[in-house]
Structure formats: C-alpha cells, structure tokens
C-alpha cells in the first residue's frame, strides 16, 4: 500500500521508505524544538538532553550508543532484573497483598533512549504494594514495528504477549488480593490485552488516555488519514495535519496487520465483556483533543466492568495529553487502597 506523508510518497511495504519517513519525522521534531522560544529552565534542560541524544546518533550512526543509559537500574530500590532487561521487582521486606504491574511508557526517542529501566515515579514506588516494572526494550528495531506498545511482547527473547506474560508469571510467587496493571498512552490498549493473558491473576487495569486500539480497520487516526487519502478530486489540495506519533502509529498498525496479529491483542476493548473478573478504569484528559477519537472508541462499549472517567487537568495549553502526573499525585493512592474485593 502506498501513502503520502510529509510530502513523501511512502510504500508501507518498503522498509527503506519507512526509514526515511521516520528520519524526516525526527528532523522536524528537532527543528520544532530548536525554534521554541522559552526561558524556563525545564525547556532548556530538555532541549539540551535531546540535542545531545541526536548529536550522539549523528556521530555514531546508531542509537545503540545509548545502551549504557537505558540498560541500567537503581539497585538500591529494585532487584531480580530479567535476562532481557525489561523487568525488575521492587525491593521490600514487607508482606503486601496488592501487586502493581507498571507498564512504562516513554514518549519518543528523547524519553525511551535516555531513561533507565527503573525511571518510575516515587508516587508508585512508595505505595504499600509490591511492584513489578515491565518495559519494552528501547533498542528493538526496525522503527516500523518497534517499540510495538508491547503488541509484539517486550524483547527479542519475549517477542509475543504470551511469552512476555510467562516471564511476568515467574516474578509472582504468591496469591494477591489485587493485581493491577497500571499504564498510559501508547499502552492504553495493550494493558487490557495483557490483562487477558494474565486473566487468572489480574483483577484490575488502570490506564490513562491514549491508543486504545492498534487495529488498521478501527484506529481513529488511521480512519482519519484514509478519509483524507481517498478524498475526491475536488479536495485534492486539502492538507492533513497529523501528529508524528499518529504517523508512526499508522506505520506500525500496517505492520501488525501484515503479521496477522490476533485481533484480541490489537483491539482488546471489544472483548472486555468476556472477562467479567477484570475491572478496567480508563481515565482521559478533558482537554486532550489529539487522542479524543480513541476515547470515543472506548465509550461505545457498554460493559459493566469498564469505567470511563474524564480528568480536568492539563500540564499547559501545549501539553494537554499527559495526565499521568496528576493521576500519580491525586488519584492513584486512593484508587489502590480502596479497591473492592469484587466488582
């Protein structure tokens, strides 16, 4: 299939085309960041870190130069790192009756290629729960498929959700009152399909707004693109503005379609009614217009074990998608401590 993005004619079955699309997306991100006029210290630090990341790639020709940064962890707080370096367990001598399985989600290269395995909020770590961190190996390639939002597992060793969940099971040594999968953004869908794989132990999913489906047929981003792509001749001069993450979502969903991934993995909310023992709480940002199609998609499913809640929060007028900091601070603790024993 051939598409047009960023004035490039792209064959979705040609990895070279997809490589240069990805590189152009990165270059535009770099230019936009360089042109930001801001004097706040956080923007300056962020811009410096991103420029250093891309300079290192330019000088070495590979993202693998960041392996020392991403393949590290805080051994004062965590232990039992998995062989594929995607999972680790919170150190504690207490006997908790709840377990959080935290699916880490870093936005773009600047997050996933500069963060350690244990770069997790203290708000989560300090809860009276056991904690298992699950990350997708940030150095999986090609970019046309990876990171796969854990649709294709978490590493080359554990390259399916089934294999990944078998490794998760190896960490769990006892029965808990509640096992909660906590996720956000690109994992808003896979958190649910992973819960299905672990349906004998997982009781709850808590996720904040994001990509709730990876289906080529049902993704709102892809539907929007295809409507534009197939527009009538008299609208051929019409432009379509797409987020960079939406472009790569389109590319990866095409890859998943070609791989014939199980529909329950790609489109998990459709199957939630068959898992009444799993309660899913989906929290979305009131001002998050970029991902609103995914929220509308979830709202169509009228299942007793699905709760969709609007959160009145945004970081700034330019950052209205990420409500996770607010949820970590204001919602997570009460949610975890007040879980009922049954739906």
Specify if 4 maps to a domain: no
Looking at residue 39, its pLDDT comes to 64
43's tokens: 């923007």
Specify if 50 maps to a domain: no
Residue 38 vs residue 7, higher pLDDT: 7
Give the 3-state secondary structure of residue 102.
strand
* Whether the predicted pLDDT of 224 surpasses 90: yes
Per-chain mean pLDDT for the chain: 94
Looking at residue 33, its pLDDT comes to 84
Query: pTM of the prediction?
Result: 0.95
Looking at residue 139, its pLDDT comes to 95
7's tokens: 């004035």
* Whether the predicted pLDDT of 339 surpasses 70: yes
Specify if 6 maps to a domain: no
- What number is the average pLDDT over the span 213-233? 97
- What number is the average pLDDT over the span 212-237? 96
In this prediction, what percent of the chain has a pLDDT beyond 70? 98
Looking at residue 272, its pLDDT comes to 98
The sign of the dihedral angle between the CA atoms of 121, 125, 129, 130 is positive
- What number is the average pLDDT over the span 244-250? 97
Looking at residue 342, its pLDDT comes to 64
- What number is the average pLDDT over the span 293-314? 97
* Parent domain of 309: 77-337
Specify if 218 maps to a domain: yes
* Whether the predicted pLDDT of 81 surpasses 90: yes
Distance of alpha carbon 214 from alpha carbon 254, whole angstroms: 9
Inter-residue contact 120 to 104 (CB < 8 Å): yes
- What number is the average pLDDT over the span 37-53? 79
pLDDT in tens, 89-121: 999 999 999 999 999 988 788 889 999 999 999
Specify if 171 maps to a domain: yes
* Whether the predicted pLDDT of 343 surpasses 60: no
Strands (E) in the chain, as ranges, are 2-5, 8-11, 78-79, 87-90, 98-103, 130-134, 178-185, 204-210, 279-285, 306-311
Looking at residue 108, its pLDDT comes to 84
Report the Cα 69 to chain-centroid distance in Å: 20
Confidence of residue 37 (pLDDT cuts 50, 70, 90): confident
Looking at residue 242, its pLDDT comes to 95
Specify if 19 maps to a domain: no
Spatial CB neighbours of 56, under 8 Å, sequence gap ≥ 6: 65, 66
pLDDT in tens, 250-300: 999 999 999 999 999 999 999 999 999 999 999 999 999 999 999 999 999
The number of domains in the chain is: 1
Domain with residue 189: its CATH number is 3.40.50.1820
* Whether the predicted pLDDT of 38 surpasses 80: no
Distance of alpha carbon 161 from alpha carbon 197, whole angstroms: 7
Specify if 17 maps to a domain: no
Q: What is the residue-wise DSSP string for 206-261?
A: EEEEE-----TTT-HHHHHHHHHHT--GGGTT------HHHHHHHHHHHHHHHHT-
- What number is the average pLDDT over the span 26-45? 80
């Amino acid at each position: 299939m051939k598409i047009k993005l960023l004035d490039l004619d792209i064959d979705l079955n040609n990895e070279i085309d997809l490589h240069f699309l990805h590189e152009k997306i990165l270059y535009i991100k770099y230019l936009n960041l360089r042109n930001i006029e801001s004097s706040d210290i956080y923007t300056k630090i962020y811009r410096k870190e991103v420029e250093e990341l891309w300079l290192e790639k330019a000088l070495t020709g590979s993202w693998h130069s960041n392996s020392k940064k991403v393949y590290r962890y805080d051994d004062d707080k965590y232990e039992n790192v998995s062989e594929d370096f995607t999972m680790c367990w919170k150190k504690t001598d207490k006997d908790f009756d709840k377990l959080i399985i935290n699916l880490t989600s870093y936005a773009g290269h600047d997050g996933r290629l500069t963060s350690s395995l244990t770069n997790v909020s203290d708000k989560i770590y300090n809860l009276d729960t056991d904690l298992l961190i699950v990350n997708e190996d940030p150095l999986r390639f090609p970019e046309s498929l990876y990171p796969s939002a854990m649709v294709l597992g978490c590493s080359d060793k554990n390259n399916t959700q089934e294999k990944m969940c078998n490794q998760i099971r190896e960490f769990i040594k006892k029965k808990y009152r509640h096992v909660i999968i906590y996720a956000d953004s690109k994992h808003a869908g896979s958190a649910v399909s992973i819960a299905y794989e672990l349906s004998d132990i997982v009781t709850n999913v808590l996720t904040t707004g994001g990509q709730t489906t990876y289906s080529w047929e049902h993704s709102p981003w892809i539907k929007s693109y295809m409507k534009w792509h197939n527009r009538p001749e008299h609208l051929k001069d019409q432009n379509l503005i797409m987020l960079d993450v939406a472009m790569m979502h389109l590319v990866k969903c095409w890859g998943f379609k070609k791989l014939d991934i199980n529909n329950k993995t790609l489109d998990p909310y459709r199957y939630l009614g068959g898992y009444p023992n799993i309660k899913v709480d989906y929290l979305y940002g009131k001002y998050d217009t970029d991902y609103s199609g995914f929220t509308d998609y979830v709202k169509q499913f009228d299942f007793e074990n699905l709760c969709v809640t609007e959160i009145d929060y945004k970081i700034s007028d330019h950052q209205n998608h990420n409500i996770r900091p607010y949820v970590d601070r204001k919602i997570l603790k009460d949610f975890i401590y007040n879980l009922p024993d049954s739906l």
